Amino acid sequence: MKRTSALWLLAGLSASGLTLAAVPAGYPASYQATIDAAGKEGKLVIYATTDLKLVQPLVNDFQALYPAVKIEYNDVNSTELYNRFISEVAANAGSADLLWSSAMDMQVKLANDGYAQAYESPEVKNLPDWASWRKELYGTTFEPITIVYNKRLVAANEVPQTHADFINLLKTNPAKYQGKVTTYDVEKSGAGFLFLSQDAKQNPGVWDMAKVLGERGVRLQSSTGTMLERISTGENLIGYNILGSYALARAQKDPQIGVVTPKDYTLVISRLALIPKTARHPNAAKLWMDYLLSKRGQTLLADKAELASVRKDVEGEHSSEKLRAQLGSQTAVYDGAVEQYNATVINAMSDVANAVTKAQSLAKQHQLTVQALATAQRARDLAEKAYKAGMSDAINMLNTQVALLAEEQQQAQNGARELDLYVSLMNALGGGI
């Protein structure tokens, strides 16, 4: 969700090989072997889209429980997390031991592509069924997607209560909202792409909305914090599809920020965590996963990070039950959807993510093809000049002509593949041509 990445090395006490932590209550006695092995590994590398400042209390608490494990926390945006991990694995370089991202579709794709290792957490019995998938992906939060506005500059009678209201507001107030609307840049933010793709499945007017956003000169960002800050100052008046956990937390402290959970439907997402098969410190990753899903970890996540817990036994202002109460009947749609989680989220999002990945690959191939075609044309031209000047024979000229034709054919094939992919992507998004 952020443009920049920050590497934070959080030093723990060096106690490699020593058993300094007790087995959590309710865990099997054999869990001590995992704790001991994690202590010997001595390190945990996390790639996450969750701001470090939000989870610092969890990191500190985890370090107190397991002082032998040093945490290296990499705070990056969702697209960077995915691309960085894939690149590092391909290069057989060291990478993350645990991936924790709000871009659910990208996490699902990693699991579907065989990057995630199966791990049955001792906490799985305390989670809703939808929060654990194939023992590879675990949902850790319960977060609505909202509309955010400046309470001082947007009149109460203008505040949109539905997605249709939002579209109408931009259509009927073009001068006021020109250049004053913000949302995620779906090219740079995997989470933003996820929200839009799910919009397309719920809202038949989503493409009309996209057109209006373009007409109003929408300001695209990859950072939630940047959007909230600009709405607060009045540089932007309203933000669409904003991650509600950050927005609601900001609204409690900032009188300028207003938050709407749309009444027609409210998307709800979860930050998904997985342990890669390539993890160099897998036992330390298991400790963090279990801690993150535990009542202790989930309570801190809700109280300190202000991210709604997935566990029903966690109480407080930022519990999932409290959020459900705030959303009211809107959660009925979500509760029905999570019962078919695999079909409606995982499979659908995998299609979208695959299409996007293929699009990126084809774009690179297109650049290479254009370069190769230009080279082939220059070679053909030089061969023709050499032949006419008597410096080369006809065979050489014909060979360059054949090479040029081959490159032209490749470019045509790439064009056809791009068109096919566009159709696939539109279908995955629920749109049309």
Query: What is the pLDDT averaged over residues 100-106?
Result: 87
Residues 6+ apart with CB under 8 A from 197: 105, 348, 349, 352, 428, 429, 430
Residues 6+ apart with CB under 8 A from 348: 197, 201, 428
- Decide if 6-141+270-339 and 143-268 have a common fold: yes
pLDDT at 406: 67
| pTM of the entire predicted model | 0.66
- First and final C-alpha spacing in the chain: 29
Q: Is 410 helix (H, G, I), strand (E, B) or coil?
A: helix
Query: What is the rounded distance in angstroms from the CA atom of residue 319 to the CA atom of residue 309?
Result: 5
For 191-247, what is each residue's pLDDT tens digit?
788 888 888 888 888 888 889 999 999 999 988 889 999 999 999 999 999 988 889
- In percent, the amount of the chain with pLDDT more than 90 equals 44
Tell me the two tokens of residue 255.
């009188």
Parse the chain into domains and list their residue ranges.
6-141+270-339, 143-268, 345-429
pLDDT at 219: 94
Query: What is the pLDDT averaged over residues 414-425?
Result: 53
Q: Is 43 helix (H, G, I), strand (E, B) or coil?
A: strand
Residues 6+ apart with CB under 8 A from 114: 277
Query: What is the pLDDT averaged over residues 373-390?
Result: 67
**Does the domain at residues 6-141+270-339 carry the CATH identifier 3.30.420.40?**
no
User: How many whole angstroms from its chain centre is CA 74?
Assistant: 15
> Which CATH number among 3.30.1490.20, 3.40.190.10, 3.40.50.970, 3.40.50.300 corresponds to the domain 143-268?
3.40.190.10
Confidence band for 179, pLDDT divided at 50, 70 and 90: very high
Tell me the two tokens of residue 120.
């049955």
Q: Give the residue from 245, 286, 298 showing the smallest Cα distance to 117.
A: 286
Query: What is the pLDDT averaged over residues 70-83?
Result: 92
For 286-302, what is each residue's pLDDT tens digit?
999 999 999 999 999 88
